[in-house]
Protein backbone atom coordinates (compact mmCIF):
# COMPACT_ATOMS: atom_id res chain seq x y z
CA UNK A 1 0.00 0.00 0.00
CA UNK A 2 2.82 2.36 0.81
CA UNK A 3 4.30 1.73 -2.65
CA UNK A 4 1.12 2.55 -4.54
CA UNK A 5 -0.55 5.14 -2.31
CA UNK A 6 0.37 8.64 -1.23
CA UNK A 7 -0.76 10.70 1.71
CA UNK A 8 -1.74 14.30 1.04
CA UNK A 9 -4.54 16.88 0.74
CA UNK A 10 -7.63 16.02 -1.28
CA UNK A 11 -7.67 17.19 -4.92
CA UNK A 12 -9.70 20.25 -5.87
CA UNK A 13 -12.22 18.19 -7.84
CA UNK A 14 -12.78 15.66 -5.03
CA UNK A 15 -16.36 14.62 -4.24
CA UNK A 16 -15.68 14.64 -0.53
CA UNK A 17 -17.37 17.03 1.82
CA UNK A 18 -16.22 20.59 1.07
CA UNK A 19 -15.85 21.33 4.75
CA UNK A 20 -13.28 18.56 5.18
CA UNK A 21 -9.82 20.04 5.72
CA UNK A 22 -7.88 16.88 6.54
CA UNK A 23 -5.75 14.48 4.46
CA UNK A 24 -6.51 11.22 2.72
CA UNK A 25 -4.75 8.44 0.83
CA UNK A 26 -4.28 9.09 -2.88
CA UNK A 27 -2.13 8.00 -5.78
CA UNK A 28 1.61 8.36 -5.36
CA UNK A 29 2.91 11.80 -6.36
CA UNK A 30 5.25 11.69 -9.30
CA UNK A 31 8.23 14.02 -8.96
CA UNK A 32 9.35 15.84 -12.09
CA UNK A 33 13.03 15.38 -12.96
CA UNK A 34 15.39 18.25 -12.17
CA UNK A 35 16.36 20.33 -15.23
CA UNK A 36 19.85 19.63 -16.42
CA UNK A 37 22.17 22.62 -16.83
CA UNK A 38 22.65 23.63 -20.44
CA UNK A 39 26.11 23.16 -21.85
CA UNK A 40 27.19 25.17 -24.88
CA UNK A 41 28.22 22.90 -27.74
CA UNK A 42 31.52 24.71 -28.23
CA UNK A 43 32.51 24.81 -24.56
CA UNK A 44 34.99 21.94 -24.82
CA UNK A 45 36.39 23.45 -28.00
CA UNK A 46 36.83 26.80 -26.24
CA UNK A 47 38.63 25.22 -23.28
CA UNK A 48 40.88 23.21 -25.61
CA UNK A 49 41.82 26.35 -27.56
CA UNK A 50 42.68 28.23 -24.36
CA UNK A 51 44.90 25.35 -23.22
CA UNK A 52 46.51 25.01 -26.65
CA UNK A 53 45.63 21.29 -26.88
CA UNK A 54 45.87 20.65 -30.61
CA UNK A 55 44.54 17.04 -30.45
CA UNK A 56 41.48 18.08 -28.44
CA UNK A 57 40.84 20.97 -30.84
CA UNK A 58 41.00 18.61 -33.84
CA UNK A 59 38.57 16.21 -32.15
CA UNK A 60 36.06 18.94 -31.30
CA UNK A 61 36.25 20.56 -34.73
CA UNK A 62 35.53 17.25 -36.41
CA UNK A 63 32.70 16.32 -34.02
CA UNK A 64 31.02 19.71 -34.29
CA UNK A 65 31.93 20.22 -37.96
CA UNK A 66 32.95 23.70 -36.85
CA UNK A 67 34.07 26.37 -39.31
CA UNK A 68 37.48 27.61 -38.15
CA UNK A 69 36.70 31.17 -39.23
CA UNK A 70 33.56 31.41 -37.10
CA UNK A 71 33.86 33.05 -33.67
CA UNK A 72 33.52 30.88 -30.59
CA UNK A 73 32.76 31.97 -27.05
CA UNK A 74 33.55 35.59 -26.16
CA UNK A 75 33.50 36.56 -29.82
CA UNK A 76 36.97 35.65 -31.17
CA UNK A 77 38.01 33.06 -33.71
CA UNK A 78 40.19 30.11 -32.74
CA UNK A 79 43.19 31.66 -34.52
CA UNK A 80 42.75 34.92 -32.62
CA UNK A 81 42.59 33.06 -29.30
CA UNK A 82 45.69 31.05 -30.22
CA UNK A 83 47.62 34.24 -31.04
CA UNK A 84 46.36 35.99 -27.93
CA UNK A 85 47.32 33.10 -25.63
CA UNK A 86 50.63 32.43 -27.40
CA UNK A 87 49.90 28.88 -28.70
CA UNK A 88 52.17 28.70 -31.74
CA UNK A 89 51.50 25.02 -32.60
CA UNK A 90 47.76 25.56 -32.59
CA UNK A 91 48.06 28.68 -34.75
CA UNK A 92 50.28 26.82 -37.23
CA UNK A 93 47.78 23.95 -37.42
CA UNK A 94 44.82 26.27 -38.02
CA UNK A 95 46.64 28.20 -40.75
CA UNK A 96 48.34 25.32 -42.55
CA UNK A 97 45.90 22.43 -42.11
CA UNK A 98 42.53 24.15 -41.73
CA UNK A 99 43.20 27.19 -43.97
CA UNK A 100 42.14 29.68 -41.32
CA UNK A 101 42.00 33.29 -42.53
CA UNK A 102 44.86 35.44 -41.25
CA UNK A 103 42.81 38.59 -41.90
CA UNK A 104 39.49 37.60 -40.32
CA UNK A 105 38.18 40.58 -38.32
CA UNK A 106 35.98 40.26 -35.26
CA UNK A 107 34.92 43.62 -33.83
CA UNK A 108 37.73 45.17 -35.96
CA UNK A 109 40.39 43.00 -34.28
CA UNK A 110 42.70 40.83 -36.39
CA UNK A 111 44.94 37.87 -35.49
CA UNK A 112 48.05 40.00 -36.11
CA UNK A 113 46.85 42.56 -33.54
CA UNK A 114 46.22 39.76 -31.05
CA UNK A 115 49.72 38.35 -31.66
CA UNK A 116 51.32 41.79 -31.10
CA UNK A 117 49.32 42.08 -27.88
CA UNK A 118 50.09 38.50 -26.74
CA UNK A 119 49.60 37.77 -23.05
CA UNK A 120 52.67 35.48 -22.85
CA UNK A 121 54.99 38.52 -23.11
CA UNK A 122 57.66 36.34 -24.76
CA UNK A 123 59.42 38.35 -27.53
CA UNK A 124 60.76 35.22 -29.27
CA UNK A 125 57.34 33.52 -29.29
CA UNK A 126 55.58 36.68 -30.49
CA UNK A 127 58.08 37.08 -33.33
CA UNK A 128 57.41 33.48 -34.43
CA UNK A 129 53.66 34.09 -34.41
CA UNK A 130 54.00 37.31 -36.38
CA UNK A 131 56.26 35.66 -38.98
CA UNK A 132 53.75 32.82 -39.32
CA UNK A 133 50.86 35.23 -39.87
CA UNK A 134 52.83 37.32 -42.37
CA UNK A 135 53.70 34.18 -44.36
CA UNK A 136 49.96 33.56 -44.71
CA UNK A 137 49.18 37.07 -45.92
CA UNK A 138 48.30 38.96 -42.73
CA UNK A 139 47.70 42.67 -43.40
CA UNK A 140 49.93 45.08 -41.46
CA UNK A 141 48.25 48.43 -42.19
CA UNK A 142 44.91 47.82 -40.54
CA UNK A 143 43.44 49.44 -37.42
CA UNK A 144 40.75 48.53 -34.93
CA UNK A 145 37.86 50.68 -33.73
CA UNK A 146 40.24 52.57 -31.39
CA UNK A 147 42.67 53.29 -34.22
CA UNK A 148 45.30 50.90 -32.86
CA UNK A 149 47.50 49.15 -35.44
CA UNK A 150 49.71 46.05 -35.02
CA UNK A 151 52.75 48.37 -34.98
CA UNK A 152 51.26 50.37 -32.09
CA UNK A 153 50.62 47.20 -30.09
CA UNK A 154 54.19 46.00 -30.71
CA UNK A 155 55.63 49.39 -29.69
CA UNK A 156 53.53 49.54 -26.54
CA UNK A 157 54.49 46.03 -25.43
CA UNK A 158 58.18 46.44 -26.23
CA UNK A 159 58.51 43.75 -28.94
CA UNK A 160 61.59 45.20 -30.63
CA UNK A 161 62.10 42.28 -33.01
CA UNK A 162 58.48 42.51 -34.20
CA UNK A 163 58.83 46.26 -34.78
CA UNK A 164 62.00 45.63 -36.77
CA UNK A 165 60.11 43.01 -38.79
CA UNK A 166 57.10 45.11 -39.81
CA UNK A 167 58.36 48.71 -39.61
CA UNK A 168 59.31 48.87 -43.32
CA UNK A 169 55.79 48.00 -44.47
CA UNK A 170 53.82 49.75 -41.70
CA UNK A 171 52.26 53.18 -41.81
CA UNK A 172 54.50 55.05 -39.38
CA UNK A 173 52.37 58.17 -39.08
CA UNK A 174 48.99 56.51 -38.50
CA UNK A 175 47.21 57.85 -35.39
CA UNK A 176 44.79 56.26 -32.94
CA UNK A 177 41.55 57.76 -31.59
CA UNK A 178 43.48 60.16 -29.30
CA UNK A 179 45.87 61.32 -32.02
CA UNK A 180 48.90 59.28 -30.92
CA UNK A 181 51.27 57.70 -33.42
CA UNK A 182 53.28 54.54 -32.73
CA UNK A 183 56.11 56.81 -31.57
CA UNK A 184 53.96 58.12 -28.72
CA UNK A 185 53.23 54.56 -27.52
CA UNK A 186 56.95 53.76 -27.51
CA UNK A 187 57.73 56.96 -25.59
CA UNK A 188 54.97 56.33 -23.05
CA UNK A 189 56.51 52.96 -22.13
CA UNK A 190 60.11 54.34 -22.31
CA UNK A 191 61.16 51.95 -25.11
CA UNK A 192 64.41 53.61 -26.19
CA UNK A 193 65.37 50.90 -28.68
CA UNK A 194 61.98 51.09 -30.41
CA UNK A 195 62.09 54.90 -30.50
CA UNK A 196 65.46 54.67 -32.23
CA UNK A 197 64.07 52.17 -34.78
CA UNK A 198 61.08 54.38 -35.59
CA UNK A 199 63.20 57.51 -35.98
CA UNK A 200 65.64 55.70 -38.27
CA UNK A 201 62.70 54.38 -40.30
CA UNK A 202 61.56 57.94 -40.97
CA UNK A 203 58.66 58.52 -38.59
CA UNK A 204 57.44 62.11 -38.39
CA UNK A 205 58.52 63.16 -34.90
CA UNK A 206 56.76 66.54 -35.16
CA UNK A 207 53.15 65.31 -35.37
CA UNK A 208 51.33 66.41 -32.17
CA UNK A 209 48.81 64.20 -30.42
CA UNK A 210 45.21 65.10 -29.67
CA UNK A 211 46.27 67.28 -26.73
CA UNK A 212 48.72 69.27 -28.84
CA UNK A 213 51.88 67.70 -27.41
CA UNK A 214 54.72 66.69 -29.73
CA UNK A 215 56.74 63.52 -29.03
CA UNK A 216 59.53 65.69 -27.62
CA UNK A 217 57.14 67.40 -25.21
CA UNK A 218 55.65 64.04 -24.23
CA UNK A 219 59.11 62.68 -23.38
CA UNK A 220 59.81 65.80 -21.31
CA UNK A 221 56.52 65.49 -19.43
CA UNK A 222 57.20 61.83 -18.60
CA UNK A 223 60.73 62.68 -17.47
CA UNK A 224 62.40 60.39 -20.04
CA UNK A 225 65.24 62.77 -20.84
CA UNK A 226 67.38 60.03 -22.38
CA UNK A 227 64.82 59.75 -25.19
CA UNK A 228 65.33 63.41 -26.10
CA UNK A 229 68.73 62.53 -27.53
CA UNK A 230 67.06 60.06 -29.93
CA UNK A 231 64.33 62.43 -31.11
CA UNK A 232 65.25 64.88 -33.87
CA UNK A 233 65.47 68.56 -32.97
CA UNK A 234 66.07 71.17 -35.62
CA UNK A 235 66.72 74.83 -35.08
CA UNK A 236 63.75 75.75 -37.27
CA UNK A 237 61.36 73.77 -35.13
CA UNK A 238 59.57 75.65 -32.40
CA UNK A 239 58.01 73.74 -29.54
CA UNK A 240 55.24 75.50 -27.70
CA UNK A 241 56.26 75.77 -24.01
CA UNK A 242 54.36 73.45 -21.72
CA UNK A 243 53.09 76.30 -19.51
CA UNK A 244 51.47 77.80 -22.62
CA UNK A 245 49.24 74.74 -23.02
CA UNK A 246 47.49 74.51 -19.65
CA UNK A 247 46.95 76.48 -16.46
CA UNK A 248 49.69 75.90 -13.92
CA UNK A 249 49.94 78.82 -11.51
CA UNK A 250 47.84 81.69 -10.23
CA UNK A 251 49.69 83.90 -12.70
CA UNK A 252 47.98 81.97 -15.54
CA UNK A 253 44.49 82.33 -14.05
CA UNK A 254 44.74 86.06 -13.25
CA UNK A 255 47.47 87.46 -15.52
CA UNK A 256 46.43 91.11 -15.15
CA UNK A 257 47.39 91.38 -11.49
CA UNK A 258 50.99 90.45 -12.29
CA UNK A 259 53.34 92.94 -13.89
CA UNK A 260 55.49 90.38 -15.68
CA UNK A 261 54.28 87.13 -17.25
CA UNK A 262 55.87 85.17 -20.08
CA UNK A 263 52.70 83.43 -21.22
CA UNK A 264 50.25 85.61 -23.24
CA UNK A 265 46.98 86.38 -21.51
CA UNK A 266 44.68 83.31 -21.54
CA UNK A 267 46.74 81.66 -24.28
CA UNK A 268 45.59 78.28 -22.98
CA UNK A 269 42.13 78.93 -24.46
CA UNK A 270 43.63 79.27 -27.95
CA UNK A 271 44.64 75.62 -27.83
CA UNK A 272 41.05 74.56 -27.07
CA UNK A 273 39.58 76.74 -29.83
CA UNK A 274 42.06 75.53 -32.46
CA UNK A 275 41.66 71.93 -31.36
CA UNK A 276 37.88 72.16 -31.79
CA UNK A 277 38.37 73.04 -35.48
CA UNK A 278 41.25 70.57 -36.00
CA UNK A 279 43.84 73.33 -36.45
CA UNK A 280 45.99 72.67 -33.39
CA UNK A 281 49.04 72.22 -35.63
CA UNK A 282 49.01 76.01 -36.21
CA UNK A 283 49.27 76.84 -32.51
CA UNK A 284 52.99 77.51 -32.64
CA UNK A 285 52.44 80.53 -34.92
CA UNK A 286 50.40 82.26 -32.21
CA UNK A 287 52.89 81.22 -29.52
CA UNK A 288 55.79 82.77 -31.43
CA UNK A 289 53.89 86.03 -31.95
CA UNK A 290 52.72 86.01 -28.28
CA UNK A 291 49.06 86.40 -29.28
CA UNK A 292 46.65 86.76 -26.34
CA UNK A 293 43.06 85.52 -26.32
CA UNK A 294 41.64 89.02 -26.76
CA UNK A 295 43.87 89.65 -29.80
CA UNK A 296 43.04 86.26 -31.31
CA UNK A 297 39.27 86.75 -31.09
CA UNK A 298 39.33 89.94 -33.20
CA UNK A 299 41.75 88.74 -35.90
CA UNK A 300 40.98 89.05 -39.60
CA UNK A 301 42.60 87.52 -42.66
CA UNK A 302 45.43 90.05 -42.77
CA UNK A 303 46.22 89.56 -39.08
CA UNK A 304 46.37 85.78 -39.51
CA UNK A 305 48.62 86.16 -42.52
CA UNK A 306 50.92 88.45 -40.54
CA UNK A 307 51.09 85.90 -37.70
CA UNK A 308 52.34 83.28 -40.16
CA UNK A 309 49.35 81.19 -41.27
CA UNK A 310 50.47 80.48 -44.85
CA UNK A 311 47.46 79.13 -46.77
CA UNK A 312 44.09 80.86 -47.36
CA UNK A 313 42.23 77.61 -46.64
CA UNK A 314 43.74 77.46 -43.17
CA UNK A 315 43.03 81.13 -42.51
CA UNK A 316 39.39 80.75 -43.58
CA UNK A 317 38.98 77.74 -41.32
CA UNK A 318 40.37 79.67 -38.34
CA UNK A 319 38.17 82.68 -39.14
CA UNK A 320 35.10 80.44 -39.21
CA UNK A 321 36.13 79.00 -35.84
CA UNK A 322 36.42 82.53 -34.39
CA UNK A 323 32.98 83.43 -35.77
CA UNK A 324 31.44 80.25 -34.30
CA UNK A 325 33.01 81.11 -30.95
CA UNK A 326 31.38 84.56 -30.95
CA UNK A 327 28.02 83.15 -32.12
CA UNK A 328 27.94 80.59 -29.30
CA UNK A 329 25.12 81.50 -26.95
CA UNK A 330 26.43 82.98 -23.74
CA UNK A 331 24.50 83.10 -20.47
CA UNK A 332 25.45 84.72 -17.20
CA UNK A 333 24.15 81.59 -15.44
CA UNK A 334 27.11 79.64 -16.81
CA UNK A 335 29.46 81.64 -14.58
CA UNK A 336 30.04 80.51 -11.02
CA UNK A 337 28.68 82.90 -8.41
CA UNK A 338 29.21 83.33 -4.69
CA UNK A 339 26.14 82.39 -2.68
CA UNK A 340 25.20 84.10 0.54
CA UNK A 341 24.82 80.76 2.34
CA UNK A 342 27.79 79.15 0.61
CA UNK A 343 30.88 77.68 2.28
CA UNK A 344 33.42 78.91 -0.26
CA UNK A 345 36.87 79.68 1.06
CA UNK A 346 39.08 82.54 -0.05
CA UNK A 347 40.77 80.48 -2.75
CA UNK A 348 37.42 79.45 -4.26
CA UNK A 349 36.32 83.07 -4.35
CA UNK A 350 39.62 84.04 -5.95
CA UNK A 351 39.07 81.43 -8.69
CA UNK A 352 35.49 82.66 -9.21
CA UNK A 353 36.84 86.19 -9.56
CA UNK A 354 39.43 84.95 -12.07
CA UNK A 355 36.67 83.30 -14.11
CA UNK A 356 34.72 86.56 -14.17
CA UNK A 357 37.79 88.46 -15.33
CA UNK A 358 38.28 86.00 -18.17
CA UNK A 359 34.63 86.33 -19.20
CA UNK A 360 34.94 90.11 -19.20
CA UNK A 361 37.89 89.82 -21.58
CA UNK A 362 35.85 87.54 -23.86
CA UNK A 363 32.81 89.87 -23.78
CA UNK A 364 35.00 92.86 -24.61
CA UNK A 365 36.57 90.94 -27.50
CA UNK A 366 33.13 89.90 -28.80
CA UNK A 367 31.92 93.51 -28.72
CA UNK A 368 35.06 94.67 -30.53
CA UNK A 369 34.59 91.89 -33.11
CA UNK A 370 30.97 92.86 -33.74
CA UNK A 371 31.80 96.56 -33.95
CA UNK A 372 34.73 95.97 -36.30
CA UNK A 373 32.72 93.80 -38.69
CA UNK A 374 29.62 96.00 -38.54
CA UNK A 375 31.68 98.99 -39.61
CA UNK A 376 33.10 96.91 -42.45
CA UNK A 377 29.59 95.83 -43.50
CA UNK A 378 30.36 92.13 -43.14
CA UNK A 379 27.77 91.06 -40.57
CA UNK A 380 24.83 92.94 -42.05
CA UNK A 381 22.34 95.09 -40.17
CA UNK A 382 21.49 94.28 -36.55
CA UNK A 383 17.86 94.13 -35.45
CA UNK A 384 16.33 95.86 -32.46
CA UNK A 385 15.56 92.49 -30.88
CA UNK A 386 19.21 91.43 -31.05
CA UNK A 387 20.36 94.65 -29.43
CA UNK A 388 17.72 94.30 -26.68
CA UNK A 389 18.80 90.70 -25.99
CA UNK A 390 22.46 91.78 -25.83
CA UNK A 391 21.62 94.59 -23.41
CA UNK A 392 19.59 92.25 -21.19
CA UNK A 393 22.42 89.71 -20.96
CA UNK A 394 25.03 92.36 -20.19
CA UNK A 395 22.87 93.96 -17.49
CA UNK A 396 22.27 90.57 -15.91
CA UNK A 397 25.98 89.88 -15.94
CA UNK A 398 26.69 93.31 -14.47
CA UNK A 399 24.46 92.39 -11.53
CA UNK A 400 26.51 89.19 -10.98
CA UNK A 401 29.73 91.20 -11.01
CA UNK A 402 28.27 93.72 -8.54
CA UNK A 403 27.27 90.90 -6.19
CA UNK A 404 30.76 89.46 -6.40
CA UNK A 405 32.27 92.89 -5.69
CA UNK A 406 30.16 93.26 -2.56
CA UNK A 407 31.21 89.81 -1.35
CA UNK A 408 34.88 90.54 -1.93
CA UNK A 409 34.63 93.87 -0.08
CA UNK A 410 32.83 92.16 2.79
CA UNK A 411 35.55 89.52 3.07
CA UNK A 412 38.22 92.20 2.74
CA UNK A 413 36.82 93.99 5.80
CA UNK A 414 38.14 91.13 7.96
CA UNK A 415 41.70 91.69 6.75
CA UNK A 416 44.10 94.08 8.51
CA UNK A 417 44.68 97.48 6.99
CA UNK A 418 48.22 96.47 6.13
CA UNK A 419 49.41 93.01 5.23
CA UNK A 420 51.50 91.58 8.11
CA UNK A 421 54.01 90.35 5.54
CA UNK A 422 54.04 93.64 3.65
CA UNK A 423 57.44 95.36 3.40
CA UNK A 424 57.40 99.15 3.01
CA UNK A 425 60.70 100.11 1.43
CA UNK A 426 60.14 103.81 2.21
CA UNK A 427 60.11 102.99 5.93
CA UNK A 428 63.29 100.96 5.52
CA UNK A 429 65.03 103.87 3.75
CA UNK A 430 63.88 106.32 6.44
CA UNK A 431 65.27 104.07 9.21
CA UNK A 432 68.57 103.74 7.37
CA UNK A 433 68.77 107.53 6.95
CA UNK A 434 68.10 108.16 10.64
CA UNK A 435 70.72 105.59 11.62
CA UNK A 436 73.30 107.21 9.33
CA UNK A 437 72.58 110.70 10.69
CA UNK A 438 72.90 109.48 14.27
CA UNK A 439 76.18 107.76 13.45
CA UNK A 440 77.57 110.94 11.85
CA UNK A 441 76.39 113.08 14.78
CA UNK A 442 78.01 110.68 17.26
CA UNK A 443 81.38 110.66 15.51
CA UNK A 444 81.28 114.43 14.93
CA UNK A 445 80.60 115.02 18.63
CA UNK A 446 83.52 112.80 19.61
CA UNK A 447 85.87 114.57 17.20
CA UNK A 448 84.81 118.02 18.45
CA UNK A 449 85.29 116.93 22.07
CA UNK A 450 88.77 115.66 21.38
CA UNK A 451 89.64 118.89 19.53
CA UNK A 452 88.44 121.06 22.44
CA UNK A 453 90.41 118.94 24.91
CA UNK A 454 93.59 119.30 22.87
CA UNK A 455 93.11 123.06 22.67
CA UNK A 456 92.64 123.37 26.42
CA UNK A 457 95.72 121.27 27.21
CA UNK A 458 97.79 123.33 24.81
CA UNK A 459 96.67 126.52 26.55
CA UNK A 460 97.45 125.15 30.02
CA UNK A 461 100.98 124.13 29.09
CA UNK A 462 101.63 127.35 27.19
CA UNK A 463 102.06 125.66 23.86
CA count, 13 A, side-chain hemisphere, 4: 1
- 8 Å CB contact between 90 and 82: yes
In Å, how far are 1, 87, 125 from 53, measured between CA atoms? 57, 9, 17
Examine the pLDDT at 154 and tell me if it is beyond 90.
yes
Examine the pLDDT at 76 and tell me if it is beyond 60.
yes
Average pLDDT over the chain, rounded to whole?
81
Q: Which residues pair with 8 in a beta bridge?
A: 24
- 8 Å CB contact between 129 and 115: yes
Over range 219-239, report the average pLDDT.
80
Give the per-residue pLDDT at 382: 72
Over range 314-331, report the average pLDDT.
82
CA count, 13 A, side-chain hemisphere, 372: 12
**Interval 9-29: pLDDT, tens:** 555 555 555 555 555 555 555
Q: Tell me which of 123-137, 138-152, 414-428 is least confident.
A: 414-428
Over range 35-42, report the average pLDDT.
62
Could you tell me which residue, 56 or 405, shows the higher pLDDT? 56
Q: Which residues pair with 7 in a beta bridge?
A: 25
- Of the chain, the percentage scoring pLDDT greater than 70 comes to 80
**Interval 84-119: pLDDT, tens:** 999 999 999 999 999 999 999 998 999 999 999 998
SS (H, E, C) the chain: CCCCEEEECCCCCCCCCCCCCCCEEEECCCCCCCCCCCCCCCHHHHHHHHHCCHHHHHHHHHHHCCCCCCCCHHHCCHHHHHHHHCCHHHHHHHHHCCCCCCCCCECCECHHHHHHCCCCCCHHHHHHHHHHHHHCCCCCCCCCCCCCCHHHHHHHHCCHHHHHHHCCCCCCCCCCCCCCCHHHHHHHCCCHHHHHHHHHHCCCCCCCCCCCCCHHHHHHHHCCHHHHHCCCCCCCCCCCCHHHCCCCCHHHHCHHHCCCCCCCCCCHHHHHHHHHCCCHHHHHHHHHCCCCHHHHCCCCHHHHHHHCCCCHHHHHHHHHHHHHHHHCCCCHHHCCCCCCCCCCCHHHHHHHHHHHHHHHHHHHHHHHHHHHHHHCCCCCCCCHHHHHHHHHHHHHHHHHHHHHHHHHHHHHCCCCCCCCCCCCHHHHHHHHHHHHHHHHHHHHHHHHHHHHHHHHHHHHCCC
**Interval 426-441: pLDDT, tens:** 777 888 888 888 888 8
**pLDDT-derived band of residue 127, with 50, 70 and 90 as boundaries?**
very high
- For residues 44, 48, 49, 50, the Cα torsion angle rounded to the nearest 10 degrees is 100
- 8 Å CB contact between 13 and 26: no
Examine the pLDDT at 1 and tell me if it is beyond 70.
no
Amino acid sequence: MSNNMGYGPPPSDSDSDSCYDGFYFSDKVKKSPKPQPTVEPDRKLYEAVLEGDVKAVIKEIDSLRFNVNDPIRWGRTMLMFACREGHYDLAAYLLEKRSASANKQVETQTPLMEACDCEKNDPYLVEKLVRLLLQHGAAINVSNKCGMTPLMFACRNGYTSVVRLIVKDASLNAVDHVGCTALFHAIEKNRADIVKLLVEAGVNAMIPNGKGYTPTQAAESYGYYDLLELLPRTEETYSVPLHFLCYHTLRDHIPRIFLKTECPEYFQELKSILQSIDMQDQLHHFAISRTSLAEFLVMDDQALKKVGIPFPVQRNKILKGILDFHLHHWSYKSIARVKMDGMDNFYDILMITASHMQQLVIIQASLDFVKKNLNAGVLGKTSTMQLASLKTNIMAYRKSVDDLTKTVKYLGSFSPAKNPLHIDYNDILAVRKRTTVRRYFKYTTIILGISVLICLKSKWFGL
